[in-house]
Structure 1
Amino acid sequence: MTRVLVVEDEPHIAEALVFLLEREGFAAKVIPDGGEAIGALGDYDLIVLDIMLPGRSGFEVAEALQGMAVRPKTCVLTAKGQTADRERMEALGVDAFVTKPFSNRALMETVRALIAAP
């Protein structure tokens, strides 16, 4: 079963994401704090990552991913959709970038494509 870590501090969004992911057959867990998430990254196949987080930012989480030998796919899901934020995350090697508000259908298409990619 594909394991997905949702790093999101907004409870309603996190709950919706878990619902969508579990409906697709994924095992999903939420960690609302960037610092806590950094310690758990290796346990997942996909990370859905917000930028604005307590503890450590999504940028810092993405930086931690760079040092991993086996790196999970990463989808940034954020309200910070400015070009500079997107470019910074791309430079850190994230696989996809989705801005809030988001379409459930488009997000899940992105997630499925990331999981299917080699």
Structure 2
Amino acid sequence: MVERRILIIDDEADIREVAQLSLEISNDWEVLTASSGKEGLKMAVAHRPDAILLDVMMPDMDGPTTWENLQQDPTTKDIPVIFLTAKVQAAEQRRYAQLGITAVLTKPFDPLTLADHIVQTLKWV
């Protein structure tokens, strides 16, 4: 499988760690992590990941605001973003789709199928 670089932006250390271990072990991907939207923006510009897993609810700069900042930068605007959220109501799903978010993954997610979900969503077959 082609090696991929994934950036996980989440303020919860346990979520970052579980997702990172899952993706590194199951697919041998390079996984970068950031604990805030601001840090994630810097890492996205510096490392140009193939995809970003982005927490919706974070202090200071939430997921939608982080996504908007990614869209304004020519070096990051084409990176697919998958939102991570515990809120899965239909209204939120529609709002994220209208924003142009690639997909939404609910928390808690299954670490054993996380990589497969990303591969299927982004059509990395």
TM-score where L is the length of structure 2: 0.82
**Superposition deviation, residue 76 in structure 1:** 1.0
Match in the other structure for 1:32? 35
Match in the other structure for 2:110? 103
TM-score where L is the length of structure 1: 0.86
1:45 corresponds to 2:50: yes
**Superposition deviation, residue 59 in structure 1:** 0.6
Larger radius of gyration: 2
Match in the other structure for 1:58? 63
Match in the other structure for 1:78? 85
Deviates more, 1:85-94 or 1:5-14: 85-94
2: distance between equivalents of 1:88 and 1:36?
Answer: 25
2: distance between equivalents of 1:68 and 1:82?
Answer: 30
Match in the other structure for 1:18? 20
1: distance between equivalents of 2:78 and 2:123?
Answer: 13
Structure 1 unaligned regions, length at least 5: none
Structure 2 unaligned regions, length at least 5: none
2: distance between equivalents of 1:115 and 1:12?
Answer: 27
SS of structure 2 residue aligned to 1:47:
strand
2: distance between equivalents of 1:102 and 1:61?
Answer: 21
Q: In angstroms, what is the RMSD of aligned CA positions?
A: 1.9
**Superposition deviation, residue 19 in structure 1:** 0.2
1: distance between equivalents of 2:94 and 2:113?
Answer: 21
2: distance between equivalents of 1:95 and 1:106?
Answer: 18
Residue identity matched to 1:13: I
2: distance between equivalents of 1:31 and 1:99?
Answer: 19
> Measured at CA, do residues 41 and 115 of structure 1 come closer, stay the same or move farther in structure 2, by a change above 3 Å?
farther
2: distance between equivalents of 1:107 and 1:67?
Answer: 28
Runs of 4+ in 1 over 6 A off after TM superposition: none
